[in-house]
């Protein structure tokens, strides 16, 4: 099993890039945010508990995420390449991940940091639209759907994510700086970090990431 972490601020493009890269190299794109949104939509106990945090732009408690990732690792096959998008997000989650992967006799192979300035991030998050059904991501100016408000992939309605409202975006960025940004220095010190310029088209950034993974 190969484990690659995609690090970056909210709106850095982790999900968009991971989806493209995963298709190209037959990896599994694991988005903890998407898993939580799914749990919220299904109204599971974990989803109901998570929604309060997500709506405010706060992080869901570490134990919920660690249990989710533990289950994923247990179910993964030895030949799987896992692209972790949105986990770990705290130093505590990173330490728990080390324990989990050691239990499965694997290690974190690489951490790709998508570097995007805050001005670009704000523009991306404010213009982001997601499919209410399949979760595909669009942007009103940089990645518009063929028909306004409609998903190109499944024809369902495009919506603004609850946590993409301006006041929530601001809080998510503060939370990122305080709790997640320290992981960049940590993985850098472990010589696992590769910087990628995350400004550019989704295809270009995905191509840069895919090239790194193929090395």
* Residues designated as active site: 14, 89, 128, 161, 172
Reference 2, options 33, 25, 35; nearest CA is 25
Phi, psi (degrees; rounded to nearest 5) at 112: -100, 120
For ligand AMP, the closer of residues 65 and 83 by Cβ is 65
Q: What is the largest CA-CA distance in the chain?
A: 48
> Which span (84-92, 97-105, 113-121, 131-139) binds ligand AMP, by CB under 6 A?
84-92
Assess contact for 128 and 103: CB atoms under 8 A: no
Report if residue 10 touches ligand AMP, rule: CB under 6 A.
yes
- Give the CB-nearest residue to ligand AMP: 33
Report if residue 59 touches ligand AMP, rule: CB under 6 A.
yes
Report if residue 198 touches ligand AMP, rule: CB under 6 A.
no
Reference 83, options 8, 192, 2; nearest CA is 2
Assess contact for 118 and 8: CB atoms under 8 A: no
> Which span (81-89, 102-110, 148-156, 204-212) binds ligand AMP, by CB under 6 A?
81-89
Whether the upstream peptide bond of residue 88 has omega within 30° of 0, thus cis, is yes
Assess contact for 115 and 8: CB atoms under 8 A: yes
For ligand AMP, the closer of residues 30 and 151 by Cβ is 30
Site string for ligand AMP, 174-193 (x = CB under 6 A): --------------------
Interface with ligand AMP (CB under 6 A): 10, 32-33, 36, 53-54, 57-60, 65, 86-87, 89, 93, 163, 172
């Amino acid at each position: 099993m190969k484990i690659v972490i995609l690090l970056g601020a909210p709106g850095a493009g982790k999900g968009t890039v991971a989806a493209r890269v995963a298709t190209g190299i037959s990896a599994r794109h694991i988005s903890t945010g998407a898993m939580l949104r799914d749990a919220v939509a299904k109204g599971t106990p974990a989803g109901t508990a998570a929604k309060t945090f997500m709506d405010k732009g706060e992080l869901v408690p570490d134990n919920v995420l660690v249990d989710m990732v533990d289950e994923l690792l247990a179910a993964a096959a030895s030949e799987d390449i896992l692209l972790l998008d949105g986990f770990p997000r705290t130093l505590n989650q990173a330490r728990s991940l080390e324990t989990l992967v050691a239990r499965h006799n694997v290690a974190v192979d690489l951490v790709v940091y998508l570097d995007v300035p805050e001005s670009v991030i704000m523009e991306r998050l404010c213009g982001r639209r997601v499919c209410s059904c399949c979760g595909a991501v669009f942007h009103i100016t940089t990645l518009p759907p063929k028909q306004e408000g409609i998903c190109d992939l499944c024809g369902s309605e495009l919506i603004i994510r609850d946590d993409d409202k301006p006041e929530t975006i601001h809080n998510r960025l503060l939370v990122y700086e305080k709790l997640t940004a320290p992981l960049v220095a940590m993985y850098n010190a472990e010589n696992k970090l590769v910087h990628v310029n995350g400004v550019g088209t989704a295809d270009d950034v995905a191509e840069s990431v895919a090239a790194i993974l193929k090395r």
